[in-house]
Structure formats: C-alpha cells, structure tokens
Amino acid sequence: MNRYRLFLLAVLLPVLGWSLAAEGRTATIGGFIRTKGSDTLAAVSSRWAAQYQARTPGITVEAASGGSGNGIAALINGHVDIADTSRPLKTHEVRQILSRTGKQPVLFLVGLDALSVIVHPLNPLHGLSVKQLAEIYGRDGLIPHWENLGVVVPGCEDQEIVRISRKNNSGSYYEFREDVLKPGRHLNANLEYVDSSEAVVQRVARTPCAIGYVGMGRVTAAVKALCITSGKGPCVPPTAATALERRYPLTRNLYLVTLGPPNEVVKAYVQWILGPMGQDILQKSGFTPAPVVKVE
C-alpha cells in the first residue's frame, strides 16, 4: 500500500482548512446531492444519505452503488456530484477528468478498510501469505488445490480451489490485484466473477471449496476471514485496529471524489461525513474511521 502518491491530486480535508461539521448542524440552503460508486461502501453510503436527509431540511441525497469504476465514470460524465471509491484514481481517469472538465479531482479520505480474504467456515485454514494468494489467484499459479496448502477441506470433493472475484469495475478487484500480484502478472483464467460483495459472501458461504475477498464491513458470520502475512512478521487479522495501524497487508483507503472543490451543499455533506456522526455510521458499518491527518 505504498501508492499514497495518489498522483498528489488527493486533497484531504485539512488541506482546505475545513473544520468538522458540528453534530447538530443543519444546512441553511436546499439542494440535491447525487452519489455513486463503491459496492464496498454501498451500505454505509445509504446510511449516510438517510441520516443526513433526516437531519438537514431541504436536502435530498441520492446514493447508488455499482462499483468504484462506474462511480468515477458517472462523476466524469457529470451524472453525480460525488463518487464513492475504494481505490485511488487511475492515471487515465485523472487525464479524462482534466480533459473533459478542466478541473482537478479532489479526494477526501473518509475511512480505512481491511480487504478481507474469506473462506467457508469448514475450511481449517487459518491464514495465508500474500505470496500464497498470488499463487492461488495468479495466472499459472502453483496452488490450484487446498491440499497444496496442507489442508483438507470437509465437503470439498476434489479439493480444487474455487476462486471468487469481483469484476474489473470494482475497487476491490483493483486493490486486490495491485496488492497481491506482481506488475505484469495476470489473474487466473479460471476465476468466477460476481457482481457484488454480497454475492461473494453468499457464494463462499455455500461453497466449501471457495475463496473470495470483500471489504471487512461486508464480512458476515456465514464465512471465515483469514489472517494475512506479507511474508515478514506474524499473520495479521483484518480488524479496525490493524487497518488503522496499517499492519494488515491489504489495508486500503476509502474516498469521496469531487470535480474540483465542491459547492456549498456538497461541501456541507462531506463535512458531516467526516464529522462525529458520519464517522460513527462508518464505524458501526464495520470500517475504520478516517485518521486525523496533519498536512504540512
């Protein structure tokens, strides 16, 4: 997770000198806010929208999911005011934004996530290394069967690993590929792609042979999350604490993105999300609140 260069276009809240919104603040002007993006953030985004509307007369917030890539595309095309994303912007997306709108993208760090690797509860495996994940998910990987990891999974007849993945419009897909595979290595041709985090969890929960990955806020009791090691040091579980400390190898940032500095209506919403109430909703949804960042 050393990609915090983030094209140096990421502008965190302290850069603009905004103070966090007071807990009971309400807007003095009406307006309509449209958001779209990360499936990982879908549930929390809907909760943000519902709570903010209830506390802010005259404001309507429409929250849609569909994947980080689709949210960013909607932002570029002027269909939404905010893109929710679980990954940084790609170079070509930054170029598109600049060429089509003449504006710099502004990224607001709203939280942290531990991208969690999940298996069926009957699977006796406790953890994996990033290198082992690469050999499971990478093309021509050396780990096609659970027996290659020294375990026998009850209910998995041939012990062949069923690899579940999000599609390429997903921020989770992008982050998993970037963090697990070496540059130039492609994903295994035998992946089973699904449309949502919920679908990943459901498929793994009913398939003893399966493995998948989702944001930690989407993990349920129907599956088991594995600890992950970078190859140096202990195997680290995906938790709020290990994400905040960045000890978990697959820790990632969660963002809101706008085209240039947002207008007053959108600005107030972002302030509220970064304030006590918005961050409490994020935490209760299973994610780690945004750390306080001091920008020199």
Burial per residue of 222-234, b for 16 or more beta-carbon CB atoms within 10 angstroms, e otherwise: ebbbbbbbbeeee
Strand partners, 31: 59
197 has pLDDT over 70? yes
Query: 3-state class of 232 per DSSP?
Result: coil
pLDDT value of position 265:
94
131 has pLDDT over 50? yes
Closest to 177 in 3D by CA, of 193, 161, 160: 193
- Helix (H) or strand (E) holding 255, with range, is strand 251-259
pLDDT value of position 30:
63
5 has pLDDT over 80? no
pLDDT of 56-105, one tens digit each?
999 999 999 999 999 999 999 999 999 999 999 999 999 999 999 999 99
pLDDT value of position 292:
62
What distance in Å separates the CA atoms of residue 176 and residue 28, rounded to the nearest whole number? 42
What distance in Å separates the CA atoms of residue 21 and residue 238, rounded to the nearest whole number? 30
Name the H helices within the chain. Answer: 13-16, 42-55, 68-76, 91-101, 130-137, 171-180, 197-205, 240-244, 264-274, 276-284
Confidence of residue 6 (pLDDT cuts 50, 70, 90): very low
What distance in Å separates the CA atoms of residue 70 and residue 124, rounded to the nearest whole number? 37
pLDDT value of position 209:
98
Please give the backbone phi and psi of residue 139, each rounded to the nearest 5 degrees, phi first.
-60, 140
Question: What is the topology classification, in CATH, of domain 6-112+253-289?
Answer: D-Maltodextrin-Binding Protein; domain 2 (3.40.190)
Q: State percent of the chain over pLDDT 70.
A: 88
**Fold agreement (6-112+253-289, 116-237):** yes
* CATH number given to 116-237: 3.40.190.10
136: tokens are: 């499971």
8 has pLDDT over 60? no
Contacts of 154 (CB under 8 A, 6+ apart): 122, 208
- Least-confidence region, from 12-16, 30-34, 94-98, 209-213: 12-16
Whole-prediction pTM value? Answer: 0.86
What distance in Å separates the CA atoms of residue 36 and residue 186, rounded to the nearest whole number? 28
168 has pLDDT over 50? yes
What distance in Å separates the CA atoms of residue 110 and residue 131, rounded to the nearest whole number? 30
pLDDT value of position 15:
37
What distance in Å separates the CA atoms of residue 137 and residue 143, rounded to the nearest whole number? 9
Sign, CA dihedral 241-7-213-229, equals negative
Residue 285 and residue 217 in contact, taking contact as beta carbons nearer than 8 Å: yes
What distance in Å separates the CA atoms of residue 200 and residue 206, rounded to the nearest whole number? 10
Q: What is the mean pLDDT of the chain?
A: 89
Residue 254 and residue 151 in contact, taking contact as beta carbons nearer than 8 Å: no
Q: Where are the domains of the chain?
A: 6-112+253-289, 116-237
- Helix (H) or strand (E) holding 279, with range, is helix 276-284
293 has pLDDT over 60? no
69: tokens are: 């890539």
pLDDT of 247-285, one tens digit each?
999 999 999 999 999 999 999 999 999 999 999 999 999
Query: 3-state class of 227 per DSSP?
Result: strand
CB atoms within 10 A of CB 71: 30
Which is more confidently placed, 116 or 9?
Answer: 116
1 has pLDDT over 60? no
Confidence of residue 232 (pLDDT cuts 50, 70, 90): confident
pLDDT value of position 91:
93
